[in-house]
Amino acid sequence: MRMDIRLQHAERPAVYAWASMAVTPTPGERWQVQLDVTAAVAADATSFLHPVGGYTAKAIRDELMTGLLRARQVTKTDFHAELLVLGAADGERGDPTRVPAIGYGVIAFLAAAHAVGHLDLHADPIGGYGWRMEHFATA
């Protein structure tokens, strides 16, 4: 299931983070994760002008992995997760490095927990670390 999630920072309303992830529940199988941050930023129509690599990509990947691990702990369900698109904006500047990286972890948690049927998404996610749901869609 493909999920598009966009979060807005509660204290800084001009700050947004978003991602598209494909998450499929796989009970009884090993869980698999594909998180190519550089490719996901390059695929975003807003953030592609600010490529991410090196330490920054690793920091974002670590936050995504933390969110997925948290979802696996909470739901006790294995899944396959793939990061498709990742972006962010601070005001009118689309740059994934200008927003708190924990927002990416919140997105990963929400996508995985919803995909396995554990969580109904709402505007103020539990453990949202100051992020509010601005948009959610599945395909």
- pLDDT of res. 31: 86
- For the stretch 18-43, pLDDT in tens is 999 999 999 888 889 999 999 999 99
- CA–CA dist 49, 34 (Å, integer): 23
Percent of the chain with pLDDT over 90: 71
- For the stretch 109-133, pLDDT in tens is 999 988 888 876 665 666 678 898 8
Output phi, psi for 31, to 5 deg.
Answer: -85, 150
- For the stretch 11-21, pLDDT in tens is 999 999 999 99
Cβ neighbours of 102 (radius 10 Å):
16
Residue burial 36-58, b: 16+ Cβ < 10 Å; e: rest: ebbebbebbebbeebebeeebbe
pTM for this structure?
0.92
